[in-house]
Amino acid sequence: MTTQPITTLLFDFDGTLLDTNELIIQTFLNVLGKAYPLRYTRDDVLPFIGPSLKQTFDAIDETLTEELIEEYRVWNVDMHDQLVVEYDGVVETLRLLKERGIKMAIVSTKTKNVILKGLKFMQIEDIFEVVIGLDDVVNPKPHPEPILLALKRLNATQEEALMIGDNSHDIEGGQNAFVRTAGVAWTVKGEAYLATFKPTYMLQHISELLEIVEGQSL
């Protein structure tokens, strides 16, 4: 693994920078509750957090995928600002990283309009030079395509980059793109689960990124 200093940070969004977990859970329960009454519980939908909607709904019933995606997006956007919560220290840390000249991008499996809605909610639309959403790529994470596209648009190399996320596909996507990775201990699936994918770092708090970009070992 490279020891080159980290100058570029690639962030997942949902569950990493903004706590959208309750929004996602409630959206799935609402949409699937109509299609499959009493079939899905909170525990049942937790694995759906992370993969793209197409991946999730294809696994349930490919014939209903497009219909369920449309219902999901409508309900999700309507309830967005009521159900999302900011994580401690995220906005402050991102602004400090920006001041230090760190290149930053969002690499998400959500569509770009939903990501931008979240950035607006947090009032950090000015932070990220690049935003890669589901509609920018053919293959979502864990395929390396979105990560490599973000690096290309940032004019950054794999050796200087770190992919940060709360889910397995963030870590595996980073590994598939040959960049260093950081899991976040506040993942809804639990730190122990995320640790099984062997990220380079495990963040207990977002501010630890300040130490990482300074080259200090955690």
The answer to the question of residue 3 being in a domain is no
Looking at residue 54, what is its pLDDT? 93
- pLDDT at residue 44 in the model: 95
pLDDT of residue 214: 86
Q: How many domains does the chain have?
A: 2
Look up the domain containing 40 and give its range: 21-83
- Is 90 found in the same domain as 171? yes
Residue of 12, 14, 19, 166 marked active site: 12
Say if residues 49 and 25 touch (Cβ distance below 8 Å): yes
**Residue 63 and residue 96 in one domain:** no
Give the residues of the chain that fall short of pLDDT 50: 1, 216-218
Q: Which value, to the nearest 10 degrees, does the dihedral of the CA atoms of residues 123, 126, 130, 135 take?
A: 40
Q: What confidence score (pLDDT) does residue 50 get? A: 82
- Please indicate, yes or no, whether residues 73 and 158 belong to a single structural domain of this protein: no
User: Is there a catalytic annotation at residue 12?
Assistant: yes
pLDDT at 215: 63
Q: How far is CA 26 from CA 20, 72, 75, 84, in A?
A: 10, 10, 9, 11
pTM above 0.85, yes or no: yes
**Which pLDDT value is given to residue 218?**
41
User: Residues of 60-79 as b/e, b for ≥16 C-beta within 10 angstroms?
Assistant: beeeebeebbebbbebbeee
Q: Provide φ and ψ at 135, rounded to 5°.
A: -80, 0
Question: Which residues 6+ apart lie within 8 Å of 23 measured at CB?
Answer: 76, 79, 80, 83, 84
User: In this structure, are 120 and 67 located in the same domain?
Assistant: no
pLDDT at position 217, please?
41
Instruction: Please tell me whether residues 110 and 209 are part of one structural domain.
Output: yes
